[in-house]
Each structure stands twice: as C-alpha cells, then as structure tokens.
Structure 1
Amino acid sequence: MGKKKRAKKEKIPIPSVPIKQSSPLGWIVLLGPLCIVSFALLFGKSIPFLKEQAAVEAEDAAEMVCRAAEDDIRSGNYQSAYSRLMYALQIKPDYADAYINLGKIYYLSGDIPTAINWLQKAVSLDLPQKDLVFNNLGLLYAQQGEYQTALAMFERALATGLSLEQIYSN
C-alpha cells in the first residue's frame, strides 16, 4: 500500500487589525457609573441627602404597609394585619402608627395587657396624636380596674391637648 500524500494546508492570511488606544474618556464612560454606585454603597449612609431620602422612602413604605394592615383589621384578618405591621416596623422601627395598630389588634382580640404594652411603645415615640393614645391607654387601664393609672393617663391626655369634653365622652 502506498503512502497517502497529505495535502498542504494553505495559510490564510489574517489581516492586521489596527488596535486603537483607549481614550481616557472611554474609561470614564465605562467605569464612571460603577464608581458612583460603589461610592454610594460604601458611603451612602453618611451622606445627608441620601440619609434623608432613605428616611422618606422608609416612611412611605411603612405607611403603605400599615394602611394595608388597617384594611386587614377592619375585615377581621388579625394575623395578616399583625404580619404586615411587624414588617412595617422592620422597615421603620419608629413608626408609631404600627405600634398603635398592634395595640388595636390585641385589644380587639381581648388581650388588654399586650394592647397596653404596644400603646406604651407608641407613646414613647414622637407622634402628633399622643393625646389620643393616652386617652386609649386610660380606657384600657380603666377596663383592667386600674383606676389610678387610668386617671393618670387621662390627665396626660389633657396635658397633651385632648379636650375635657372628649375625655368625658368616654
């Protein structure tokens, strides 16, 4: 048998492609946004504008979740409302409406001591309707038979702006 001749492979000429030097502008366009995002992630919490923006967004998100929880409370779905309110507190731990609504859930469920605890937490925060919360605490303490504490809560409600007529209407 004879030897097979191998065909010579022809070399295909590869055209030379000119390599373009990258310009500084190209690198800036490419890496600029990445640097900005990295900077914001690393130092964003210490920049006042970003802190304020995050606080506003947290407040809005907590409010939306709290409103959905209020709908659940009205429909008697306390477990769902509780879950939503706990989530609102994860978003914004000092969101007073969430504490007030948790107190409402426990009151409606018949657990007055726990309702009082949640309302006490709400009162410890800076909230505009402290007078109403003190009034509600007074009602809950009176329901528990703790009349001296109830009276103290009604006095605090008066001191923070609730009118005497509103307290007497209880």
Structure 2
Amino acid sequence: MEAAIDRLAQPRRARATFLGAFALVWTAFGLVAFLGDDVLHHVVDATPWLAARPWLVEAGVLALAGAYQFAPLKRRSLVACRHPLGLLPTHGASRRGSFTLGLDHGLACLGSSWALMLLMFAEGFANLWWMVALTAVMVYETSGRHGQRAASAAGVVLLLAGLVVMSGPLLWGA
C-alpha cells in the first residue's frame, strides 16, 4: 500500500521540485534586478549630468530591451522556453532530474525574457499598462503561434519607443 502511495506522490514531488527550481531562477533574477536598480539610482543621484537627463536611462532600457529581441541568444532561448519537452531526455525522472530540468527551463525562459522583465521592472511600477502590455508580449512570445514574429515586432516597437524617449527633449523641449 505504501509503495502505491509513493508512486502516486512521486509525480507531485517531481512537479513541485521542477516548479521550485524554475521559481529559484526567477527569484535570483528579481534580486539581481532589484540590486541593480538600487545601484543605478545611486549612480544617477551621484552624477548631476545624468540626474538632469533622466530620460536617458529610460531610453537606454527601452533600446536594450528592443535590441535584445533580435539577439541570437534571445532566439535560442525562446525556442527552448517554448519547447521544454526537448529538455526531458537529458534529465531523469528523479527529484534531482526534476530540479535540473526546472533550472534549465527557468534559465531558458530567463534567457528569452530577461530584457522585457527588466523593462517591466523599470516601467511597470509607474504604469500598469506597461506591465499588462509586456506581460502579454512575453506570454505570446512563449506560447503563441507566431512567437518569434511577435518578438521581432516588439523589438521594433521598443527601439522606436527608445528613440522617441531619447529625442523627446529635442521635440518638446525639456
């Protein structure tokens, strides 16, 4: 009887281990992003020239996120994130296999979405619509029928947004 219960519990444990490892990757990224944001604020505060031009940081983050949408690493990571079953043959069904599978899948998804998450971190706190739009883009990229095309379209939009933000003071005076 106990053996039957263990067999039933094993998939749950494996799933929980996988999800825990996946969450660990994103938690680590969140911590690094938070600390990086703190450092960036200190740099801006300590640099009067940059403090007088806050749009440069925003334009830089938009441009970084937009450019990364076209990076080969983004493309490879997006494929791996979209198709995690391709990772299964390299991992066993054990708890350790589930953990490494969760880490690998988390890293693949991080590789495909870190720049958009960074942008969400930078813009999303101030604007719920940014958060909604970026979430929709990331979800569609990883699960939609034309995810690669969506990544390219998002890249163009983000690069243009960065250009608008960068040239804003010239256009509207600031």
User: TM-score over 0.5 for the alignment?
Assistant: no
Rg bigger for which structure? 1
TM-score with structure 1 setting the length: 0.28
Larger helix share, 1 or 2 = 2
TM-score with structure 2 setting the length: 0.27
